């Protein structure tokens, strides 16, 4: 799972025009799973009469839905809380309310500590208990400072209200759908198994029900989410054991659902059925985010990734044989404790071999409580910075080459939202690139054929063609 929120519009900012309603502003940090959770928190609060707004200034309740994956991500939360504390003081001086909540992975990891560090915070709610937000807010309004970070025995998804069609459609023609949460892989650098708990798959019937409701409301593309999404498993319609591949075959049968994606996967869980799904399903987009993290086998072992560089490269070859037009995306960490110059070079070599269309790369960040934090031989900050610069230069070159290779191609794009110019829309290519094209807003949700005519820094330009 990757920080991709820049690609995603504020998911919960729908017009807050019910004048007397309480307003909530939800600030989302981190990965797509947090984006999805923010939407569902908005749903939970809507049933209590809240409407969403897209500024803290306008809100009666501010929720920071946080990320703990790297130190910087967690630090951002405390700076935001400093600003909110001042805002709350000003509000209270005017006799008005401002409630503040911290949700997500920092809430789970730090719990009570957040109340100690920030006097302005009223509620702290973990990722597994946000369906209880309305009750927590009631208690907070009675003067209690609430921390609810237990792993709930009840299934939060069973308790979250489903919004009506109009609300779903107002969020756009693409949607996330969480199918799996938590992780049992315990990579030695990663906090996810501690903040999100152990691996849990949502039952098939629940997923199909949610997918059908989304499509019924006009959603054309669904991205299945999970910290380890391809570890999803469940009991199939025929009573047998199903994996993510089987789930995708079933979802592809939903009339009106044009496109499917899934993220984030672990190389160890890319089984044959999932690769066959890439071969067989036109609805399954030819794009795969498959993090490798590093190219040295010693580092991969120290990271507890449970695969070698060679195994990863062979896996990519099998996937490409099944779906030749597939584009690859990856996550990389530089400067894991003990990583030598030569081991870093192995990462560059792996990138040269695989060729990525998209990527997310990070300096190793020590996370308290993870085995990586206990290792000696931490790599110096300036060495990490220099390695990251070199890796990112290579990855950017590959990304631009991939974009250039699209020029002249005729492809289908899903029209998603208005562009910057009048009569211009932004569509999404099969490979997740933004594509600017002249089209009318009434066409949002249509899939049209275009010819790619140019590339920009973060998007492609296209002209329409009639097929």
Give the Cα separation of 341 and 429 in Å (integer). Answer: 37
* DSSP character string of 186-197: --TT--HHHHT-
Give the Cα separation of 402 and 389 in Å (integer). Answer: 20
Give the Cα separation of 14 and 276 in Å (integer). Answer: 39
Single residue of 16, 31, 106, 222 touching ligand SAM by CB under 6 A: 31
Tokens at residue 11, please? 């998911």
Q: Does 193 bind ligand SF4 (CB under 6 A)?
A: yes
- Applying the rule CB under 6 A, the residues between 116 and 175 that interact with ligand SAM are none
- Applying the rule CB under 6 A, the residues between 203 and 262 that interact with ligand SAM are 227-228
The helix/strand/coil state of 308 is: coil
Comparison of 145 and 301: residue with beta carbon closer to ligand SAM: 301
Q: Name the binder of 186 from ligand SF4, ligand SAM, none, CB < 5-8 A by kind.
A: ligand SF4
Give start and end residues of each alpha helix (H) in 94-170: 105-110, 112-117, 133-141, 156-159, 165-170
* Radius of gyration for the chain, computed over Cα atoms and rounded to the nearest angstrom: 22
Single residue of 131, 220, 367, 387 touching ligand SAM by CB under 6 A: 367
Give the bridge partners for 410, in sequence order. 451
Q: Does 284 bind ligand SF4 (CB under 6 A)?
A: no
Single residue of 331, 345, 386, 438 touching ligand SAM by CB under 6 A: 331
Q: Does 347 bind ligand SAM (CB under 6 A)?
A: no
Give the Cα separation of 451 and 462 in Å (integer). Answer: 5
Q: Does 16 bind ligand SAM (CB under 6 A)?
A: no
CB of 330 to ligand SF4, least distance (A): 12
List Cβ neighbours of 389 (8 Å cut-off, separation of 6 or more). none
Give the Cα separation of 264 and 350 in Å (integer). Answer: 20
Comparison of 220 and 266: residue with beta carbon closer to ligand SAM: 266
Comparison of 174 and 263: residue with beta carbon closer to ligand SAM: 263
Q: Name the binder of 88 from ligand SF4, ligand SAM, none, CB < 5-8 A by kind.
A: none
Q: Does 34 bind ligand SAM (CB under 6 A)?
A: no
Q: Does 307 bind ligand SAM (CB under 6 A)?
A: no
Binding site for ligand SAM (CB under 6 A): 1-2, 31, 69-70, 189-190, 192, 227-228, 264, 266, 291, 293, 331, 333, 362, 364-365, 367
Binding site for ligand SF4 (CB under 6 A): 183, 185-187, 190, 192-193, 227-228, 266
């Amino acid at each position: 799972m990757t920080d991709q929120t820049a690609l995603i519009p504020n998911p919960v900012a729908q017009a807050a025009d019910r004048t007397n309603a309480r307003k909530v502003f939800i600030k989302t940090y981190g990965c797509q799973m947090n984006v999805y959770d923010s939407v569902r928190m908005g749903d939970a609060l809507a049933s209590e009469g809240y409407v969403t707004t897209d500024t803290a200034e306008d809100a009666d309740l501010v929720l920071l839905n946080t990320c703990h994956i790297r130190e910087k991500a967690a630090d951002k939360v405390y700076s935001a809380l400093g600003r909110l504390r001042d805002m709350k003081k000003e509000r209270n001086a005017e006799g008005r309310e401002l409630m503040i909540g911290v949700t997500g992975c920092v809430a789970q990891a730090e719990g009570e500590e957040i109340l100690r560090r920030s006097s302005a915070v009223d509620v702290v709610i973990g990722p597994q208990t946000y369906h209880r937000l309305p009750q927590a807010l009631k208690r907070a309004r009675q003067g209690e400072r609430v921390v609810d970070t237990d792993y709930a025995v009840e299934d939060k998804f069973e308790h979250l209200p489903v919004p009506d069609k109009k609300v779903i459609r107002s969020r756009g023609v693409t949607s996330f759908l969480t199918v799996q949460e938590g992780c049992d892989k315990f990579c030695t650098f990663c906090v996810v198994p501690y903040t999100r708990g152990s691996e849990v798959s949502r039952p098939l019937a629940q997923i199909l029900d949610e997918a059908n409701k989304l499509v019924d409301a006009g959603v054309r593309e669904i991205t299945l989410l999970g910290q380890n999404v391809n570890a999803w498993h469940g009991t199939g319609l025929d009573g047998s054991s199903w994996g993510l591949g089987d789930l995708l075959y079933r979802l592809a049968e939903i009339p009106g659902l044009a496109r499917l994606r899934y993220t984030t996967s672990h190389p160890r869980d890319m089984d044959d059925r999932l690769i066959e799904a890439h071969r067989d399903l036109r609805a399954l987009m030819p794009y795969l985010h498959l993090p490798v993290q590093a190219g040295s086998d010693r580092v991969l072992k120290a990271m507890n990734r449970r695969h070698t560089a060679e195994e990863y490269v062979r896996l990519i070859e099998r996937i490409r044989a099944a779906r030749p037009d597939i584009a690859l995306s990856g996550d990389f960490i530089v400067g894991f404790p003990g990583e030598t110059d030569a081991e870093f070079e192995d990462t560059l070599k792996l990138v040269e071999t695989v060729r990525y269309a998209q990527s997310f790369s990070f300096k190793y960040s020590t996370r308290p409580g993870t085995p990586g934090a206990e290792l000696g031989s931490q790599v110096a900050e300036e060495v990490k910075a220099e390695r990251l610069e070199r890796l990112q230069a290579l990855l950017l070159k590959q990304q631009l080459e991939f974009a250039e290779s699209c020029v002249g191609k005729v492809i289908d794009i899903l029209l998603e939202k208005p562009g910057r110019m009048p009569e211009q829309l932004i569509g999404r290519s099969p490979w997740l690139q933004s594509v600017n094209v002249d089209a009318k807003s009434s066409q949002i949700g249509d899939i049209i054929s275009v010819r790619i005519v140019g590339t920009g820094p973060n998007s492609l330009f296209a002209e329409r063609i009639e097929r």
